[in-house]
Amino acid sequence: MITRNTGLEPLAEDLTAVIDGVAGTFGSSAERTVEGELDCDPTQPGRLFCWQYGLRVDDATDAVRKLVDVVLPMLEGQGWRTRDRSNPRELIAQFSRDGADFNVHVSRVGDGVAIVGSTACVPVP
């Protein structure tokens, strides 16, 4: 596993804990969608990698309110910067801190919430 040879492992562990905590805000039915390394530079395959982690929460009643009233203040209090990436189909909050970033997607129709994270790209030794 490449994360053991780079600076990704601490970022990946931190990001996993944060994303799991955010998912818990929306309910206990989180389903892992992705976890692992990703070659993040298609122009130089095998030279730069990032780590990704994703969750989907299908039973998220009142998800928009939870994102705005609970998740945003909690993460901003922990030093995460927030950017609004929303569109007509979904509310999207992008969070960034210390080389890690993740997005929370809340459907404007229905209850689905998807949370996806990605660390910064690092060179492979």
Q: What is the pLDDT of residue 105?
A: 94
Higher-confidence position of 70 and 42:
70
Residue 73 contacts residue 51 (beta carbons within 8 Å): no
For residues 31-42, average pLDDT:
87
Could you tell me the pTM of the whole model?
0.85
Amino acid letter at 120?
Answer: A
Per-residue pLDDT band for 3 (boundaries 50, 70, 90) equals low
Please give the mean pLDDT across all residues of the chain: 87
Share of the chain above pLDDT 70, in %: 95
Residue 27 contacts residue 60 (beta carbons within 8 Å): yes
In the predicted structure, residue 59 carries a pLDDT above the cut 80: no
As a whole number of angstroms, the distance between CA 116 and CA 59 comes to 17
Of 65, 78, 28, nearest to 102 by C-alpha is 78
3 state SS of 44:
coil
Q: What is the pLDDT of residue 108?
A: 85
Give 74-108 pLDDT, tens digit per residue: 999 999 999 999 999 999 999 999 888 999 999 88
3 state SS of 19:
helix
Among 3.30.160.110, 1.10.287.130, 3.90.1150.10, 1.10.287.3510, name the CATH number for the domain at 2-123: 3.30.160.110
Give 108-121 pLDDT, tens digit per residue: 887 789 999 988 88
Phi, psi (degrees; rounded to nearest 5) at 66: -65, -40
As a whole number of angstroms, the distance between CA 60 and CA 76 comes to 21
